[in-house]
A = this chain, B = another copy of it.
């Protein structure tokens, strides 16, 4: 195959496996707790910082807002998270854990609190720290070369277009 550099393939395989493991782990958690990895992460973040908006939550868990909408939809469907319209900005919604959500989070085994963390808890602190440092280095390298995600260029020029009277805005009846 590629007459690439010697270790490029190794790195790539490792990264692939890493992601594969995360996927598998997520499925397992779902079977055990009924909640998926990303959902759990969202709940944990909301437990730490209530009343986040969709965008802010998305930023904190490194996901696209559109993805977070789906995750929150499902969590809300299960009665674990609640949307409330924001008073300050009527475009925004405030996300909060419901009582059931907090309870579910409390009941979740620590080993399942995050997709990849189960295997790491057994590590001694020294190794863990080294791992954290190494990983963040890797990420930094890849990030710089991937043209940082910061310059979020908005180009949504409002357009005049008739469409279906479909609207679901912040104020939810439910």
Q: Interface on A for B, CB 8 Å cutoff?
A: 1-2, 4-8, 10-22, 24-25, 28, 31, 34, 41, 44, 47-48, 61-63, 73, 77-78, 110-111, 113-123, 125, 128-129, 131-132, 134-136, 138-139, 141-146, 149-150, 161, 163-167, 169
Q: Tell which of B8, B15, B48, B161 touches A18, judged by Cβ atoms closer than 8 Å.
A: B15
Given contacts A2-B113, A44-B2, A139-B18, contact A11 B63 (CB under 8 A): no
Q: Which B residue sits closest to A105, measured CB to CB?
A: B1
Considering residues A7, A118, A131, A161, which has the most beta carbons from chain B within 10 angstroms of its beta carbon?
A7
Across-interface contacts of A161 in B (CB, < 8 A): 31
- Kindly state the separation between the CA atoms of A146 and B48 in the bound complex, as whole angstroms: 27
The 30 sampled A-B contact pairs (Cβ below 8 Å) are A1-B47, A1-B48, A2-B44, A2-B114, A4-B110, A7-B131, A7-B132, A8-B117, A8-B121, A12-B114, A16-B61, A16-B62, A18-B135, A18-B142, A19-B19, A20-B62, A28-B146, A34-B163, A77-B167, A78-B167, A116-B142, A118-B145, A118-B149, A119-B142, A119-B144, A119-B145, A120-B145, A131-B138, A134-B138, A135-B138
Given contacts A1-B44, A17-B139, A117-B2, contact A7 B129 (CB under 8 A): yes
A83 → B minimal CB distance (Å): 13
Q: Which B residue sits closest to A12, measured CB to CB?
A: B114
Across-interface contacts of A139 in B (CB, < 8 A): 14, 17-18, 21
- Kindly state the separation between the CA atoms of A123 and B28 in the bound complex, as whole angstroms: 36
Across-interface contacts of A138 in B (CB, < 8 A): 14, 18, 131, 134-135
Q: Are B2 and A110 in contact (CB under 8 A)?
A: yes
